[in-house]
Structure 1
Amino acid sequence: MDYPKTAAAVLKGVGGEDNVSSLVHCATRLRFVIKDDAKVDKAAVKATAGVIATAEAGGQYQVVIGNEVPEVFEEIAKISKLGGAASNEKSASDGPKGNLLNRFIAMISAIFTPLLWALAGTGLLKAFLAAAATFGWIDTATTTYAILNALSDSFINFLPLAIAITAAKYFNASQFTSLAIAGALVYPSIVALNGVPDITFFGIPVTMVSYVSSVIPIIVVVWLQSHGERFLYAALPSAIRRFVTPMIMVLVLVPLVFLVIGPLSNVISTGLAGGIGWVFSVVPWLGGAIMGGLWQVFVIFGLHWGIVPLMTAELQSTGLVYILAPLFAAVLAQAAAVAGVWVRTKNKDLKSLAAPATLSGFLAGVTEPAIYGVNLPLKRPFVYGIVGGVLGGALISAGGVAANAFVLPSGLGLPALFSEGNIVMLFLGLAVAIVVPFLLTVIVGFTDPVEEAAAVASNTDLQVLSPLDGTAVALTEVPDAVFAGGALGAGVAIIPRVGALYAPFDAVVAAAFPTGHAIGLQHADGAELLIHVGIDTVKLGGKHFTLKVEKGQRVAAGDLLLEFDIPAITAAGYDVTTPVIITNPKKYPTIDSPTVGPVAHGDALFLAIAEEELALA
């Protein structure tokens, strides 16, 4: 992937820096909070090399990149004031203003995303250490074990400190004051008071609970801190407010946690953990089937972040996470389904995409490339993966299997499941989760893109006709760096003299946006063409454009697709130069015989050269 080109194209597609309230990233996605959705050129974003898919969930416009999302994120930071390592936590004031569920998920995502890899990495180390102790490979009485245990347990033990930092960034509170509050919660002498009777604070009875590994108390108290700091900074004289404000915050909020927030959150956490435990003890197979079947659906809609607090609450309360065990079945089932596609498909592009997606899913538990790139577009493999997740999750949970650490569900994270439950049921569930979707995909199959277009020669050269009357110019002359640099693909630009756009070949309309400024077409042999009328014209919001077709409609060469008012568009200050580009360069990496000069619609514009023809040459 060319990270700078991908970053520039994505930023341009979302309407530029000025159209973005905030940008964060998670394990595989860029997550934009957009100001004006009408300014987002979704066709251009989807057509960008390196973009697997896009989604809209949790009040965010999400661009799925895959494992290389941090590199693209950093490149965006270089060309804008968005992103950067220091700003991968979103302020609450920039968050989505939608319903409570969207806002809650956005908050949890912003607070936990920066901690995810450290939490998963140390959790994986703890899982390996626990497995070594279970199988007698290490003596738990040795100092070696003590040191390794500290390495693996420290981050989750002092989790309130880490959450204090990210929550302070989200709520716009002072990070170091938040750390002072969190530090008091896990201070050794305070931890030692847990379970001690008759504790009082100025005569007020205190019910001391454990704040080690806790989540809810520090998030609530930092939110209160953010409001208290704003009030005190406005009320106190400037000469004293910088040191008096932290003093008051610590003096007020820490006792408030001990007296009210902590005991209340402990009741909530214990109740949640108890409820989860009840489901997994009374009807464990049902809990496992639900989580194994729905987890990847939650991931698609970004709802999985809402389950993270349940996992941490269960881990803090019981030392085990039953809800996490069946997720291994869900993840490995989708990896197995994409492996089946890898084996069965005769389409070279699909096979090359399925191979790394298989490895990423099995080893790292990152399934977005598999889901968005292969299984979901093909439909059946995704369903087969859900079936495998349901069956495997039910068997795993029926065996009473639980994780002893917070890890990412993946092949590498399996040792976290070895110390609790029936290990035979665990491996039986995993085997079913893997074998069932793999065999369904290979034997029952799916509609292979090669089979769908069997009557048409694959990867044949394609003659693209001019969709406009005007003057054809080289793409490098387009006054836009993304198009001129070829970030979205190769092609030709046309300066139109008539505001009518016609189909350049027989195709299906793959994208027809309400703004009318861009149309995406797909030829029967797989060629994808983007016609983008003007530069930055998405900002017109559909003014001066009249669509004549809709998405999914079949059109023949010469059919009218769109009408637009050239004088009105230019009077509004926009350039009408129209790029006509092939957006799947793997199939059509170059163009030949590009026309330059006067051209009428229906004239030959350029020849898209297929990959096979280049190989023969």
Structure 2
Amino acid sequence: MATASKYEVLADAVLRGVGGESNVASVTHCATRLRFTLKDRDKADKAAVEATRGVITVVESGGQFQVVIGNTVNNVYEALVAKHDIKAGDAVQGGLLAKAIDLITSIFTPFLWVLAGTGLLKALLAVWVKLQPEAAANSTYAILYVAGDALFQFLPMLLAVTAAKKFKANVYTSLAIAGALIYSATIAVIPNADGVSVTLQGFAGGDQLTFIGIPVIMVSYLSAVIPTILAVYAQAKLEHLLTRVLPEAIRNFVTPMLVVAIIVPLTFLVIGPVSDWVGTGLSNGVNWLWGLSPVIGGALMGAFWQVFVIFGVHWSFVPAMIQDLSTQGYSLLTGPLFAAVLAQGAAAAAVFVKTRNKELKEVAGPAAISGILAGITEPAIYGVTLRLKRPFVYGVIGGAIGGAIAAAGGSAAEGFVLPGLITLTSTINIGSFAMQLLGTGLAVVIAFVLTMVLGFKDLPSTAEAVAEPEDAGEVASEAVAVTAPAIGTVVPLDAVPDKVFSSGAMGAGLAVVPAVGEAFAPVSGELVTVMPHAFGIRTDTGLEVLVHVGLDTVELKGRHFTAAVAQGARVRAGDLLTQFDLAAIEAAGYNPITVMIVTNNGPYSAVVPVATGDIAKGEVALDLVG
């Protein structure tokens, strides 16, 4: 029997946490997170998912249950959809914004990394030309430039594939439509530098271009986003209609013939011109606002970009950015983003230098590198800066100041890139590169210095956490002994009738069959998760313990539970967490067994269950080995 890969193990654990296959309406992914549309949100256990090894955090936004994985999200996604019967990328429930973001992520995500990679190639070529201007006439440069620019030029072909999957259209018919938009003869029918339109090949020159007598306003479809997506959407609707009305004997070849014959002219006559008008309006609007006050615009984008990332709404800016790239070759919205991204990476780097906590150091170092070099800041945000609060604010301050300076210089990325240090050269030809360097550099310095000087509430160092009892006193004794979460009878974790817990995927621990309807804090620390039935506690040493009352009791929606604590409060070992009605829970068909799991060992190397049989409040249940 083949051993499951780490991605399959993680995918299985996440799927259990969101309520299983039957609770997933659809799933897609973006650059760093799995985006679930759930049938019943109450069946998902957010605390359990967040406690899963390999999961950075969970964000609920735009009608989606978003599980942040990081750079390996594509591997986990592929393992998820390959092994389980789950729809990929279906429409999300929620408002207009939620549906718009889902549409954008579904269409752009499959080729995002390729688009970013070819954009990086163009950025490196820009450096080459700056250092050696004569390289622009070099055939080697020309070939590499074609390699980096071709994908963006022929973006409609990629959009045709992903949009067809999203709208459930025939992908090959979509490619035929997109191909007509960028066909060599069509490309020639665009206004030249003098404003004179060149006609289609074979069309008698000089006359107005028409289709069955209707004038055609031809626009450029190279890199076209909105026209392609709308054309494929119209195709899907027409295909569904023709499937219902055409006889089966002729459907297979007549449908694509009619669709292409109708949708291509419709795009040239209506969809293209209207889309171009809307897209150009958006682009002109951004330029107009930037013209009024680039400093304010840059400051806002620099300050709030990482906030947008947290809520997953940064995707809503993608169409406007690509529209700008296709019409003018750059987007002013991208200029301030380098300061915003690198500032968060710098704040994480400062935490790496300043913290004395070994576990936090191990997270902050790689997170800082990922954020600064590659522009992927989710590990830095969720694992370091937002967790510590103040460093995130310092990063926002740095991003605002740096973004304002970059925007004041008219800086912008020349291609579609993920803003990071290695793609900074994509701004070399647009606006003032010196102002971009000054703004981004200052953002990095501000975030780093503020984090180092003003500091943050650090976790105690590992050395302090494992000090001998005579040196550490009460803190050390609390840290190495985890007490009973309830009064009752101890059950080994592998005997719990729930695979999420019994498999040990979430961590080591044990369970108690409660004799009294009360659950207690097994350690002293901060309550980082409080639900009616589940409580997560983080100690000052970084140890994290989950107390989960009952199996599937999330479905009770708080009925029969009376929480005695609030999220963010501090508790001491033995404090009451919640009271619950044992009889009512059992009468509702739920098992009230109370599970206790160490989801993060902190400075300790092993968790050893020591309690057996009956256990009372305050008795040691687990030993932690340093």
| TM-score normalized with structure 1 length | 0.91
Percentage identity across aligned positions? 50
Match of 2:36 in 1: 32
Matched residue, 2:107:
111
Give the C-alpha shift of residue 30 in structure 1.
1.3
The offset of 1:6, in angstroms, is 2.8
| In 2: Cα distance, 1:377 partner to 1:502 partner | 25
Q: Cα–Cα, structure 1 residues 499 and 192, in superposed 2: closer, same or farther, change >3 Å?
A: same
SS at match of 2:456: coil
- One-letter code aligned to 2:441: A
Match of 1:584? 600
Matches within 5 A, 1:123-522: 123-136=119-132, 139-195=135-191, 196=197, 198-450=208-460, 457=475, 461-514=479-532, 516=533, 518-522=534-538
Does 560-569 or 211-220 show the bigger shift? 560-569
Q: Unpaired segments of 5 or more residues in structure 1?
A: none
Q: Secondary structure at the match of 1:239?
A: helix
How far residue 154 of structure 1 moved from its aligned partner, in angstroms, is 1.1
Equivalent pair of 1:91/1:172 in contact (CA under 8 Å): no
Deviations 1:62-86 (A, max 9, x none): 1112112223223333542237xxx
Q: Which residue of 1 aligns with 2:204?
A: none
Q: Does 1:55 align with 2:73?
A: no
Structure 1 range deviating more: 8-17 or 213-222: 8-17
Contact kept? 1:284, 1:397, Cα under 8 Å: yes
Secondary structure of 2:386's match?
helix
Q: Kindly state the Cα deviation for residue 315 of structure 1 after the two structures are TM-superposed.
A: 0.9
CA distance in 1, matches of 2:615, 2:609: 14
Deviations 1:290-343 (A, max 9, x none): 221221111111121111111111111111222212111111111111111111
TM-fit CA distance, 1:608:
2.6
Q: Rate the CA distance shift 1:319–1:507 in 2: closer, same or farther, 3 A.
A: closer
Kept in 1, the 8 Å contact 2:479–2:523? The answer is: no
In 2: Cα distance, 1:508 partner to 1:330 partner: 30
Q: Describe the SS at the equivalent of 1:140.
A: helix
Cα distance in 2 for partners of 1:397, 1:552 equals: 38
1:3 aligns with 2:7: yes
Aligned partners of 1:392 and 1:432 also within 8 Å: yes
- Cα RMSD of the aligned pairs, angstroms, is 2.4
Which of 231-240 and 474-483 deviates more? 474-483
Q: Find the residue that maps to 1:395 and give its secondary structure.
A: helix
CA distance in structure 1 between the aligned counterparts of 2:369 and 2:526, rounded to whole angstroms: 34
- Larger mean CA deviation between 483-492 and 497-506 belongs to 497-506
Q: Residues 458 and 394 (structure 1 numbering): CA distance in 2 closer, same or farther, change over 3 Å? A: farther
Structure 1 Cα separation of the partners of residues 448 and 604 of structure 2: 31
Rate the CA distance shift 1:376–1:552 in 2: closer, same or farther, 3 A. closer
1:236 Cα offset (Å):
1.6
The residue type equivalent to 2:610 in the other structure is P
Q: Distance in 1 between matches of 2:238 and 2:389?
A: 51
Q: Secondary structure at the match of 2:247?
A: coil
Task: State TM-score, norm by structure 2.
Answer: 0.90
Contact 1:229 1:245 in 2 (8 A): yes
Residue 102 of structure 2 aligns with an amino acid whose one-letter code is: A
AA partner of residue 584 (structure 1): N
Maintained 8 Å contact 1:164/1:219: yes
Shift of 1:385: 1.1
What do residues 168-196 of structure 1 show as CA deviations (whole Å, max 9, x unaligned)?
11112121111111111001001111122
What is the rounded CA distance, in whole Å, between the counterparts of 2:543 and 2:428 in structure 1?
49
Q: 1:501 to 1:290 in 2, by over 3 A?
A: closer
| Cα distance in 1, alignment partners of residues 495 and 129 from structure 2 | 66
5+ residue gaps in structure 2?
192-196, 199-207, 466-471
Measured in 1, the distance between the counterparts of 2:423 and 2:130 equals 16
2:43 pairs with 1:43: no
Deviations 1:414-434 (CA, angstroms, capped at 9, x unpaired): 221112222322221222111
Q: Secondary structure at the match of 2:481?
A: strand
1:501 alignment partner, SS class = strand
In structure 2, what is the Cα distance between the partners aligned to 1:604 and 1:348?
A: 26
CA contact (8 A) 2:542 2:602 kept: no
Among candidates 69, 80, 84, match of residue 80 of structure 1:
84
Aligned residue pairs, count? 600
1:511 & 1:427 partners in 2: Cα distance? 41
2:10 and 2:76 in contact (8 A); partners too: yes
Paired residue type of 2:142: A
2:25 is matched with 21
Distance across 2 between alignment mates of 1:410 and 1:359:
10
CA contact (8 A) 1:460 1:525 kept: no
Deviations 1:17-48 (A, max 9, x none): 21111111211111111111111111111111
Deviates more, 1:39-48 or 1:418-427: 418-427
Query: What is the rounded CA distance, in whole Å, between the counterparts of 2:105 and 2:550 in structure 1?
Result: 37
SS of the residue 2:482 aligns to = strand
Provide the C-alpha distance between the structure 1 equivalents of 2:547 and 2:170, rounded to a whole number of angstroms.
Answer: 49
2: distance between equivalents of 1:307 and 1:505?
44
* Maintained 8 Å contact 2:358/2:461: no
Return the alpha-carbon distance in structure 1 between the equivalents of residues 451 and 564 of structure 2.
39
What do the CA deviations read for 1:354-381 (whole angstroms, capped 9, x no partner)?
1001110111000111111111122221
CA displacement at 1:528 relative to structure 2 = 2.2
Identify if the C-alpha distance between structure 1 residues 354 and 554 changes in structure 2 by more than 3 Å, giving closer, same or farther.
closer
SS in 1 for 2:230: helix
Q: CA deviation at 1:506?
A: 4.2
Query: 1:558 deviation in Å?
Result: 4.1
CA 1:540–1:242 in 2, change beyond 3 Å: closer, same or farther? farther
Give the letter for the 2:352 counterpart: W
* Bigger mean CA deviation after superposition, 182-191 or 394-403: 394-403
1:560 is displaced (CA, Å) by 3.8
- Pair 1:607-2:623 in alignment: yes
Match of 2:72 among 68, 72, 77: 68
Task: Determine helix, strand or coil for the equivalent of 2:420.
Answer: coil
Q: Is residue 594 of structure 2 the alignment partner of residue 595 of structure 1?
A: no
Distance 1:542 1:391, change over 3 A: closer
> What SS does structure 2 have at the residue aligned with 1:449?
coil
CA distance in 1, matches of 2:245, 2:412: 51
State the alpha-carbon separation in 2 of the partners of residues 183 and 480 from structure 1: 52
Q: Tell me, yes or no, if the aligned pair for 2:223 and 2:326 is still in contact at 8 Å.
A: yes
